[in-house]
C-alpha cells in the first residue's frame, strides 16, 4: 500500500494546509482509535510548545473521546517522555503533537504503541485505510473521558535520572542546557539540577512561536558563545521535541551525533557492555565507520530516519545507534531516541573518566561531505538511470575506498539529494556538482 499521509515520523506539514488541519486531526484520532484501541481503552497525548498544539490537542481529544477512548493529557513533554509514560501508565497507545526540529508554523502527529515503540508500517497503513470514512461518535454511555496528567512528568524525570550509573551525580559540573524553546524546557533543566549540576538554561522560554528559532540542536551558535562565556564544562542542545541532542565542548566547539555515538560505543566496549553492531545511516560520516572499524566494532548503515536505525538494531540485537543530527538510540536505557537520556550517558562517561568532552571525541576524523539538493519535476529512482549510474561509477572509482556517494529522494519534497564524501574537500565539491548535473539532466518530465 502506498501511504498518503504517514512519512518517516508520523504525519507532518504546514499548519492550515491539508493534512495539518483540525478536521483531519479529528478524523485521524478516530482512525487511530479504531486500529489501536477498537474496544476502547486509554491514550496518552503529549505535545511540544507550538501555538497550534492547543488546536490539535483539542481535536485529538475530541476524536478519541468520541471513539470511546479515555484520554490522558500530559501537556508539553518530550516525545521520548510520552513513549516512557505510555508504558508506565498502562496506556494502549500514545500520541505526540510535534514537528520536531521544524519551525513553529509546521506541526505533526505521531503515535506510539502500548510498549512505547514506533508503530509498525502495517499499523500506520491500517490507520490510513480508515481515513476516508466518517469520524466515529459513539452513544453517550460509551464515550471516553479526558483528564490532565501534567504532574506525571515527574515520573519521566525520575526515569531519566535513573539511567545514570548507580550513585553517580553531576556535582562540580557546569552545564549550559538549550531546550530549543520546546518540549523539554521544564524537565531537562530540572533533571540536570537535581543531579547536582550547576546549570545555565537558554532556549527555555517558549512563547508558541520561538521553538527552534535561533536555538536548539539545529542552531548552536548561541550555545557555543554561552559555553565559552560562562566557562562551562559542556553545552547540551536538544531539538523542539527533545529526541535529538548535539553538544558543545568546553572550548565552544560543536560535537555532532556521529562523535557522540563513537564516544558511547568506546565507553560501552571498554566496560564490556556493547552488544551487537553500532547502527548509523547512509549519511553517517565515513570517519565514524573507520574509527569503529579500528576498534573492531561492526557498523551497519540504515536509511535516513531513526525508525530505520531502530529496526536494524532490533534485527541484529544491537543497542546503540543514531544519526549525525543527534537522534541517538540507547536501547539498553530507553525504547526510542531520547536526547536527554543520551546526554546523560555522555556526561556519565565524562564523570567516570575525568576527561573533558573535547578529549573524549578527539579520536574521530571528519571526512568532508557535500550535499546538493536537485529539484525534480517528480520523484524517480535516479540511481537506476543509465547516465546517472555511469556518473556515479566514475566518481566512486575516483574516490576509491576512502569516499562514498549517496543518492536519495527526499521523503517530503520534490528533491533528489546528492551526497559525496571523501578526503579532499575540493574534489568532493567538484564530484557533487558533476553528479547533481547528471541527475538534473535525467529528470523526467512532470
Q: Which residues are the active-site residues? A: 100
- For residues 43 and 46, give the distance between their C-alpha atoms in angstroms, rounded to a whole number: 10
Using CA atoms in the order 374, 375, 376, 382, what is the torsion angle rounded to 10 degrees?
20
DSSP H stretches of helix in 322-405? 339-353, 357-360, 386-399
Please spell the DSSP secondary structure of 363-381, one letter per residue. Answer: T-PPPPEEEEEEE-SS---
Nearest to 412 by CA among 96, 122, 99, 130: 99
257 half-sphere exposure, CB direction, 13 A CA radius:
29
Sheet holding 320-322, edge to edge: 299-302, 278-281, 320-322, 328-330
Sheet holding 404-409, edge to edge: 369-375, 415-421, 404-409
3-state SS string for 62-119: HHHHHCCEEEEEEEECCHHHHHHHHHHCCCCEEEEECCCCCCCCEEEEEEECCCCCEC
- For residues 437 and 433, give the distance between their C-alpha atoms in angstroms, rounded to a whole number: 6
Please spell the DSSP secondary structure of 245-313, one letter per residue. Answer: EEEE-TTS-EE-HHHHHHHHHHHHHHTT---S-EEEETTS-HHHHHHHHHTT--EEEE-SSHHHHHHHH
Amino acid at each position: 500500500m502506498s501511504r498518503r499521509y504517514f512519512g518517516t515520523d508520523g504525519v507532518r506539514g504546514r499548519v492550515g494546509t491539508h493534512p495539518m488541519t483540525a478536521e483531519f486531526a479529528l478524523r485521524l484520532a478516530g482512525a487511530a482509535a479504531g486500529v489501536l484501541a477498537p474496544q476502547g481503552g486509554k491514550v496518552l497525548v503529549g505535545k511540544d510548545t507550538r501555538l497550534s498544539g492547543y488546536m490539535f490537542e483539542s481535536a485529538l481529544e475530541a476524536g478519541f473521546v468520541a471513539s470511546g477512548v479515555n484520554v490522558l493529557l500530559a501537556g508539553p513533554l518530550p516525545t521520548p517522555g510520552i513513549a516512557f509514560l505510555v508504558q508506565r501508565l498502562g496506556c494502549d497507545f500514545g500520541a505526540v503533537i510535534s514537528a520536531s526540529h521544524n519551525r513553529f508554523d509546521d506541526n505533526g502527529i505521531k503515535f506510539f504503541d502500548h510498549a512505547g515503540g514506533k508503530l509498525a508500517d502495517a499499523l500506520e497503513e491500517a490507520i490510513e485505510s480508515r481515513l476516508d470514512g466518517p469520524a466515529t461518535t459513539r452513544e453517550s454511555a460509551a464515550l471516553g473521558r479526558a483528564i490532565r496528567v501534567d504532574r506525571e512528568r515527574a515520573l519521566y524525570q525520575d526515569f531519566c535520572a535513573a539511567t545514570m550509573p548507580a550513585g553517580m551525580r553531576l556535582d562540580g559540573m557546569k552545564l549550559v542546557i538549550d531546550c530549543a524553546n520546546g518540549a523539554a524546557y521544564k524537565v531537562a533543566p530540572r533533571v540536570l539540577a537535581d543531579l547536582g549540576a550547576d546549570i545555565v538554561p537558554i532556549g527555555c522560554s517558549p512563547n508558541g512561536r520561538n521553538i527552534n528559532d535561533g536555538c536548539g540542536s539545529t542552531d548552536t551558535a548561541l550555545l557555543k558563545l554561552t559555553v565559552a562565556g560562562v566557562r562551562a564544562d559542556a553545552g547540551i542542545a536538544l531539538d523542539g521535541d527533545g529526541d535529538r541532542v548535539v553538544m558543545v565542548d568546553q572550548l565552544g566547539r560543536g560535537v555532532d551525533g556521529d562523535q557522540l555515538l563513537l564516544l558511547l560505543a568506546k565507553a560501552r566496549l571498554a566496560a564490556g557492555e556493547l552488544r551487537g553492531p553500532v547502527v548509523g545511516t547512509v549519511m553517517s560520516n565515513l570517519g565514524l565507520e573507520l574509527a569503529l572499524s579500528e576498534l573492531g566494532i561492526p557498523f551497519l548503515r540504515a536509511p535516513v530516519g531513526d525508525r530505520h536505525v531502530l529496526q536494524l538494531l532490533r534485527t541484529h540485537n544491537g543497542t546503540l545507534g543514531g544519526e549525525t543530527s543527534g537522534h541517538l538510540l540507547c536501547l539498553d536505557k530507553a525504547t526510542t531516541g531520547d536526547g536527554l537520556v543520551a546526554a546523560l550517558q555522555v556526561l556519565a562517561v565524562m564523570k567516570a573518566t575525568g576527561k573533558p568532552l573535547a578529549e573524549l571525541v578527539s579520536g574521530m576524523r571528519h571526512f568532508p561531505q557535500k550535499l546538493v539538493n536537485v529539484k525534480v519535476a517528480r520523484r524517480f529512482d535516479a540511481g537506476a538511470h543509465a547516465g546517472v549510474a555511469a556518473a556515479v561509477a566514475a566518481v566512486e572509482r575516483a574516490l576509491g575506498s576512502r569516499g562514498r556517494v549517496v543518492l536519495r529522494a527526499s521523503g517530503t519534497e520534490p528533491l533528489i539529494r546528492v551526497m559525496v564524501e571523501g578526503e579532499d574537500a575540493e574534489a568532493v565539491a567538484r564530484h557533487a556538482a558533476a553528479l547533481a548535473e547528471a541527475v538534473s539532466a535525467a529528470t523526467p518530465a512532470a
